[in-house]
């Protein structure tokens, strides 16, 4: 995309301007205040600003009442030319025209649609009008800042990030562009292969393919068929199993029913036998019981009469004894009552009550004395407590003083350790810089060695190529036939030989001459001389041909085989000769074997040449890396220089780097270890400084606490003096308190003992008399009750005896003539007969049992019939045969499931791989910065002579800083000029990636001549690919060859006189840069700084 033309009227100090651009480098120059920045603002407004936006006020020309207008023509791609026309006012208008040739335009959209279409087309990360999250003012994004950066903030791009864009379109466009730059061909090869596998099985929407070529197709059909068959068989198996179960159930039922019928029938018979035997037993038992009852009643009556007589005698004796005892007890009771009355009314009792009153009074007085003593002791203890408190406070103050001194000493140690560590850190930094320099030196040497090896391999490859070419030339010079030609010759020769062989029929000719004669013969081409003897036959044997010439007599020529065979042989021979002569002619061979040897040699030469070619390729493969290795040598050289520069910072005046390296004792090469050591040391220093600060605060707090405690101590001492004065000699009182208390307690206990003795003496005499009386009264009542009980019992036993004696006569008559043994024998016989019959359980109703037995018989018959029917049905259904069928189809389904699982897994794995590749690709692409690091860093390195390392660009193209001296440095810590140069390089890199224009408005004002020259070359090179528009007041700075398009703006711009708002830099929305790297805080969070500092020092020591 490039800008073709810009037209402006009444815009920010410009009355009118019209400028044509070219696709490459455009240098627009003019003096200050001409309105160069206004032109850039106009381009920005044409592409980004709505006509009615408030931000358009900055374009207004205060010398005119007309509304600003801007016309911008740009070519998106060849044959797609757009023209934007905007008039900025409250009711402004906008048009977007399209043209294929740049001459004839047609309006594509107008009004608010223009901006929407533009943003969709540009994809700069700016939300189209009406979108959510739109910002007030001139819309901006990372791309707009890169391509149309403001003169007032040339380094704005260093503060930008795609994350701040209103729309993702800019990010998407950059992702596509940078990804295309960064895509690895091997990765693409892998992705294509994986996608091809995924496409075999899945559609674009992720569904399984269903077509004929799909791997699932056959399997699915087979599975469906198998599943259908399985369902069918399973249903039949279920039915069969149902019938089988039915047969089995019927069999079980039949077995049960037969058993039940048999049981019922047997039970019924037994029951009937038992009923008869039981009846007989009951009769015998009744008779036996009647005999036994009569005899027992008589014996029982006789025993009862004897016992009643004996009991009556005993009761009469006891009644007499009790009457005698009662006569003694009654007089004793009367005497006891008289003694008690006498004790309660005597003079001794009055005297005892007076002594009791005196003892009580003495006890009260002693109790009061004891209470007074206890109060005085409590006051004395209070004073003693105050004094103890004061002593504790004094000890605490002393402890605090000790702790404070200890902390101050600890703080001193901590500070001293920190100073030592700082010195050590400086040494380590030097060591690290040395190690880096040495490593860079080694890497450079290694790179040079690799490069030299690659150069050697390249030379070797050329040499091998030459040898291979010589061998190939030699092979060509042999003129050997190729395999096909040789095979053709061999076939022709074989055909000829076969044709000749067919003629070899073999024959014997017998020649008999009438007279002796000499003859000559040619047998199969071999000449022989013969002598024929008269009358003697001579046999001549040949395979193919015989010529016999008897001189002057006869010539005989015999040929084997027919004419056809002869013709075939000759034709074959002609063919062989026609085919072989040219080859033999050019090769000098005379036989096929010679020709074969020649072919073999030619083949060997070609194979040897191929081998040499392969070795040359292998050597060249090694040499292929020559260019990167050369580049690596350059890079490593620059790196070594950077390391040397970094090391130079440690040099003392007049000291050389070599001297410095030599001064480092035993330099270490393990940079990571040094870095770890530095990091550890830095952490320790930071932590210790923090702890020292905390310790300082802690010491101050402790001092304040000590002062407070001293004040409290003085107050307590004053209170002690007041209390001692009030209580008197409290120490003496406390010393004798226990003895006085004990004395009072002893006196109280003595008085109380006297009182108790007086009271006890009176109660004992009266109580003893009263208890003696009560005892006598109780004994008298008891004896009277016992006498009455005995009289009643005697009367009852006499009545019972009379009744028993009256019954004895009838019972004797009833028992007369009874035989108990005979009755018992009868009963035992009946019982044995019953026991011999088996017992039937729980049978109450014999008729019901008979009915049950009948029903069981009928059930057996029914079940037998049902089972026969069910067995017949089972035979028809299949039974075990179906089980086998089911097993087969289940195996099939299982196998198909396994195969389907296998396919699922295999293609699932392909799909998973595809997805993860896509994620990884997306993640890689998501870090857009990585794609720009290399080109930008390379140019920065070249610009600064290797002083700086890689630039750090984040995933959202947010530039973070740059490597310098082994560490990352924030941009704002670089010089302004360097910042401007880095910003320019980043902007150019973005424009190159997008293949679009970039406008540089007085970008490089702080660059020295050397860097300016380098940048000129860069812009010239860049302008071969993209449009670069430079606005400057120093056109001489951009004198680069003849391919630039130079525009003298004084000839194109008509300026109004007033200054414009657009030229006033607006820093309102600039974000302050915060690039200071802050060291991470230590995670030590203990509350005791002294312990933490002690621990830190101990760690340092270890």
Partner 1 sequence: MALTVLHTADWHLGRRFPGFDRDQELRLTRARLDVVGRILDLAESRNVDAVLCAGDLFDQPTPPEEWWGGVLREFERRDWQRPVVLLPGNHDPLTPNSLYHAAHPFRARLPGYVHVVDAKGWELSVGENAVVFATPCTSHAGQTDLAASLPQREHGDDRIRVGLVHGQTFDIEGHQTNFPIARGTAADRGLDYLAIGDTHTFRDVEPGAAAPTVYPGAPEATNFGERGTGNVALVFFPLDRRRRAIVQPETVGSWTWREETCTSISALRAVRADPDLRRTVLRLTLDMEVPMSEYDEAERILDELAGSMAATPRVGVLDVHRQGLRLATGAPIEFDTALPDVLKVTVEQLRLRAETEPELAGRALHHLYRLARDTA
Binding site for partner 1 (CB under 8 A): 184, 186-187, 189-190, 193-194, 197, 218, 222, 225-226, 240, 244, 247, 871, 874-883, 888-889, 891-892, 894-896, 898-899, 901-902, 905-906, 908-910, 912-913, 916-917, 919-921, 923-924
Nearer to partner 1, 780 or 921 (CB): 921
Nearer to partner 1, 99 or 888 (CB): 888
Q: Minimum CB separation from partner 1 for residue 433, in Å?
A: 30
Coil/strand/helix, residue 539 = strand
Q: Minimum CB separation from partner 1 for residue 593, in Å?
A: 38
Q: Minimum CB separation from partner 1 for residue 623, in Å?
A: 17
**Measured distance CA(709)–CA(542) in Å, rounded:** 150
Strands, sheet with 1053-1055, edge to edge from the N-terminal-most edge strand: 106-110, 93-99, 80-87, 69-77, 2-11, 14-20, 1053-1055
Q: Minimum CB separation from partner 1 for residue 982, in Å?
A: 25
Q: State the Cα angle at 521 between 520 and 522, rounded to 5°.
A: 135
**Contact status, residue 174 vs residue 146, Cβ threshold 8 Å:** no
User: With left for phi above 0 and alpha for psi between -120 and 50, is residue 573 left, alpha or beta?
Assistant: alpha
The count of other CB atoms within 10 Å of the CB of residue 992 is: 17
**Contact status, residue 307 vs residue 805, Cβ threshold 8 Å:** no
Nearer to partner 1, 189 or 420 (CB): 189
- Specify the DSSP class assigned to residue 124: S
**Measured distance CA(75)–CA(1) in Å, rounded:** 5
Give the closest residue to 418 by CA, choosing from 38, 696, 728.
696
Tokens of 136: 């007030």
Nearer to partner 1, 509 or 888 (CB): 888
| Location of structure tokens 């004790």 | 343
Q: State the Cα angle at 379 between 375 and 385, rounded to 5°.
A: 140
Render 830-868 in DSSP notation, one character per residue.
HHHHHHTSPPPTT---HHHHHHHHHHHHHHHHHHHHHHH
Q: Minimum CB separation from partner 1 for residue 884, in Å?
A: 8
Nearer to partner 1, 896 or 957 (CB): 896
Q: Minimum CB separation from partner 1 for residue 450, in Å?
A: 15
Nearer to partner 1, 197 or 472 (CB): 197
Sign of the Cα pseudo-torsion (464, 469, 472, 478, in order):
negative
**Measured distance CA(375)–CA(387) in Å, rounded:** 19
Phi and psi at residue 1059, in whole multiples of 5°?
-70, 155
* Bridge partner residues of 555 (DSSP): 549
Nearer to partner 1, 227 or 675 (CB): 227
**Measured distance CA(717)–CA(719) in Å, rounded:** 5
Nearer to partner 1, 487 or 891 (CB): 891
- Specify the DSSP class assigned to residue 29: E
Distances (CA, A) of 379 to 286, 367, 371, 374, 1102: 106, 20, 13, 9, 60
Tokens of 19: 């400028």
**Measured distance CA(659)–CA(835) in Å, rounded:** 132
Nearer to partner 1, 19 or 874 (CB): 874
Q: Minimum CB separation from partner 1 for residue 221, in Å?
A: 11
Q: Minimum CB separation from partner 1 for residue 951, in Å?
A: 19
Q: Minimum CB separation from partner 1 for residue 242, in Å?
A: 13
Q: Minimum CB separation from partner 1 for residue 183, in Å?
A: 9
The count of other CB atoms within 10 Å of the CB of residue 9 is: 20
Please name the residues in contact with 869: beta carbons below 8 A apart, sequence gap of 6 or more.
Answer: none
The strand pair at 526-532 and 1045-1048 is best described as unpaired
Nearer to partner 1, 247 or 565 (CB): 247
Nearer to partner 1, 401 or 916 (CB): 916
Q: Minimum CB separation from partner 1 for residue 953, in Å?
A: 16
Nearer to partner 1, 523 or 892 (CB): 892
Nearer to partner 1, 372 or 876 (CB): 876
Nearer to partner 1, 190 or 551 (CB): 190
Q: Minimum CB separation from partner 1 for residue 54, in Å?
A: 46
Give the closest residue to 59 by CA, choosing from 46, 70, 68.
68
**Measured distance CA(551)–CA(545) in Å, rounded:** 19
Q: Minimum CB separation from partner 1 for residue 1047, in Å?
A: 45
Nearer to partner 1, 184 or 611 (CB): 184
Distances (CA, A) of 876 to 242, 244, 913, 1013, 1049: 13, 11, 55, 105, 109
Please name the residues in contact with 131: beta carbons below 8 A apart, sequence gap of 6 or more.
Answer: 166, 167
Strands, sheet with 959-964, edge to edge from the N-terminal-most edge strand: 948-953, 959-964, 967-970
Q: Minimum CB separation from partner 1 for residue 1101, in Å?
A: 40
Count each helix (H run) and each strand (E run) in the chain, helices first.
21, 20
> Element (H or E) spanning 1084, and its range?
none
Nearer to partner 1, 899 or 1045 (CB): 899
Q: Minimum CB separation from partner 1 for residue 272, in Å?
A: 40
Give the closest residue to 96 by CA, choosing from 78, 77, 70, 131.
70
Nearer to partner 1, 659 or 875 (CB): 875
Coil/strand/helix, residue 1039 = coil
Q: Minimum CB separation from partner 1 for residue 470, in Å?
A: 33
Nearer to partner 1, 877 or 1033 (CB): 877
Q: Minimum CB separation from partner 1 for residue 244, in Å?
A: 6
Q: Minimum CB separation from partner 1 for residue 622, in Å?
A: 14
């Amino acid at each position: 995309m490039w800008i073709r033309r810009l037209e402006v009227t009444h815009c920010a100090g410009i009355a009118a301007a019209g400028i044509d651009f070219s696709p490459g480098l455009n240098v627009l120059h003019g003096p200050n205040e001409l309105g160069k920045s206004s032109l850039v603002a106009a381009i920005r407004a044409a592409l980004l600003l709505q006509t009615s936006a408030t931000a358009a006020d900055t374009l207004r020309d205060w010398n005119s009442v007309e509304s600003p207008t801007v016309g911008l023509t740009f070519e998106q791609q060849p044959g797609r030319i757009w023209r934007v026309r905007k008039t900025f006012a409250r009711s402004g208008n906008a048009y977007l025209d399209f043209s294929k040739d740049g001459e004839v335009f047609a309006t594509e959209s107008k009004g608010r649609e223009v901006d929407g279409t533009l943003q969709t087309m540009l994809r700069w990360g700016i939300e189209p009008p009406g979108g959510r999250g739109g910002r007030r003012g001139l819309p901006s994004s990372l791309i707009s800042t890169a391509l149309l950066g403001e003169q007032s903030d040339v380094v704005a791009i260093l503060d930008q990030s795609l994350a701040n864009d209103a729309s993702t379109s800019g990010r998407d466009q950059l992702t596509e562009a940078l990804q295309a730059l960064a895509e690895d061909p091997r990765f693409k090869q892998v992705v294509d292969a994986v996608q091809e596998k995924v496409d075999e099985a899945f559609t674009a929407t992720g569904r399984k393919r269903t077509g004929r070529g799909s791997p699932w197709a056959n399997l699915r059909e087979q599975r469906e068929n198998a599943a259908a068959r399985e369902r069918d068989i399973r249903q039949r198996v279920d039915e069969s199993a149902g019938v089988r179960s039915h047969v089995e159930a019927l069999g079980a039922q039949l077995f049960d029913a037969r058993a039940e019928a048999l049981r019922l029938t047997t039970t019924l018979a037994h029951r009937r036998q038992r009923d008869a035997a039981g009846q007989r037993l009951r009769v015998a038992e009744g008779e036996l019981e009647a005999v036994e009852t009569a005899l027992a009643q008589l014996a029982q009556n006789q025993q009862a009469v004897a016992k009643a007589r004996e009991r009556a005698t005993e009761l009469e004796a006891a009644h007499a004894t009790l009457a005698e005892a009662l006569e003694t007890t009654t007089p004793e009771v009367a005497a006891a009552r008289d003694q008690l009355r006498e004790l309660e009314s005597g003079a001794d009792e009055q005297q005892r009550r007076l002594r009791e009153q005196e003892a009580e009074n003495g006890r009260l007085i002693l109790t009061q004395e004891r209470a007074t003593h206890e109060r005085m002791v409590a006051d004395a203890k209070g004073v003693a407590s105050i004094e103890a408190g004061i002593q504790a406070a004094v000890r605490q103050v002393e402890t605090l003083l000790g702790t404070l001194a200890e902390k101050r000493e600890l703080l001193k140690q901590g500070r001293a350790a920190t100073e030592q560590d700082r010195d050590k850190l400086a040494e380590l930094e030097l060591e690290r810089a040395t190690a880096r320099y040495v490593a860079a030196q080694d890497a450079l040497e290694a790179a040079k060695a690799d490069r030299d090896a690659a150069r050697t391999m390249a030379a070797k490859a050329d040499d091998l190529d030459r040898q291979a070419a010589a061998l190939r030339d030699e092979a060509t010079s042999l003129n050997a036939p190729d395999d096909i030609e040789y095979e053709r010759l061999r076939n022709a020769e074989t055909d000829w030989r076969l044709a000749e062989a067919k003629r070899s029929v073999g024959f014997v000719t017998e020649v008999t001459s009438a007279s002796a004669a000499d003859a000559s013969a040619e047998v199969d081409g071999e000449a022989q001389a013969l002598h024929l003897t008269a009358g003697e036959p001579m046999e001549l044997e040949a395979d193919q041909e015989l010529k016999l010439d008897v001189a002057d007599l006869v010539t005989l020529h015999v040929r084997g085989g027919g004419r056809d065979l002869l013709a075939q042989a000759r034709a074959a021979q002609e063919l062989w000769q026609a085919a072989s002569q040219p080859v033999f002619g050019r090769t000098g061979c005379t036989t096929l074997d010679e020709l074969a040897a020649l072919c073999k040699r030619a083949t060997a030469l070609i194979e040897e040449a191929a081998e040499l070619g392969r070795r040359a390729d292998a050597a060249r493969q090694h040499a292929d890396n020559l260019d990167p290795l050369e580049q690596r040598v350059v890079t490593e050289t620059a790196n070594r220089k950077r390391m040397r520069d970094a090391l130079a910072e440690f040099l003392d005046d007049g000291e050389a780097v070599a001297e410095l390296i030599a001064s480092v004792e035993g330099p270490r090469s393990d940079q990571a270890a040094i870095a770890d050591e530095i990091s550890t040391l830095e952490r320790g220093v930071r932590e210790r400084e923090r702890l020292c600060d905390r310790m300082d605060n802690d010491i101050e707090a402790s001092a304040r606490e000590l002062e407070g405690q001293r004040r409290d101590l003085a107050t307590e001492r004053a209170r002690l003096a007041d209390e001692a004065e009030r209580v008197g000699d409290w120490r003496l009182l406390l010393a004798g308190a226990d003895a006085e208390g004990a004395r009072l307690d002893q006196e109280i206990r003595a008085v109380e003992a006297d009182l108790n003795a007086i009271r006890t003496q009176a109660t004992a005499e009266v109580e003893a008399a009263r208890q003696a009386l009560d005892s006598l009264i109780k004994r008298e009542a008891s004896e009277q009750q016992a006498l009455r009980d005995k009289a009643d019992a005697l009367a009852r036993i006499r009545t019972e005896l009379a009744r028993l004696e009256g019954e004895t006569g009838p019972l004797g008559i009833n028992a007369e003539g009874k035989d108990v043994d005979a009755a018992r024998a009868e009963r035992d016989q009946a019982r044995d007969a019953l026991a011999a019959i088996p017992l039937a359980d729980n049978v109450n109703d014999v008729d019901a049992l008979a009915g049950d037995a009948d029903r069981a018989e009928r059930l057996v018959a029914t079940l037998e019939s049902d089972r026969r029917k069910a067995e017949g049905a089972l035979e028809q259904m299949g039974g075990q045969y179906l089980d086998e069928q089911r097993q087969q189809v289940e195996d099939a389904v299982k196998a198909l499931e396994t195969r389907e699982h296998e396919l699922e897994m295999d293609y699932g794995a392909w799909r998973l791989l595809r997805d993860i590749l896509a994620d990884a690709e997306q993640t890689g692409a998501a870090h857009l910065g990585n794609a720009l690091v290399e080109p930008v860093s390379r140019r920065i390195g070249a610009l600064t002579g290797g002083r700086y390392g890689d630039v750090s660009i984040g995933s959202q193209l947010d530039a973070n800083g740059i490597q310098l001296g082994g560490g990352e440095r924030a941009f704002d810590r670089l010089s302004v000029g360097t910042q401007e140069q880095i910003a320019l390089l980043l902007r150019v890199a973005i424009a190159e990636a997008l293949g679009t224009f970039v406008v540089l408005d007085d970008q490089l004002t702080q660059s020295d001549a050397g860097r300016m020259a380098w940048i000129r070359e860069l812009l010239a090179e860049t302008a071969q690919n993209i449009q670069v528009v430079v606005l400057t007041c120093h056109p001489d700075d951009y004198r680069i060859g003849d391919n630039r398009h130079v525009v003298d703006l004084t000839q194109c711009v008509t300026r109004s006189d007033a200054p414009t708002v657009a030229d006033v830099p607006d820093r309102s929305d600039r974000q302050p840069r915060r690039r200071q790297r802050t060291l991470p805080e230590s995670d030590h969070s203990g509350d005791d700084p002294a312990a933490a500092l002690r621990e830190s020092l101990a760690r340092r020591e270890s």
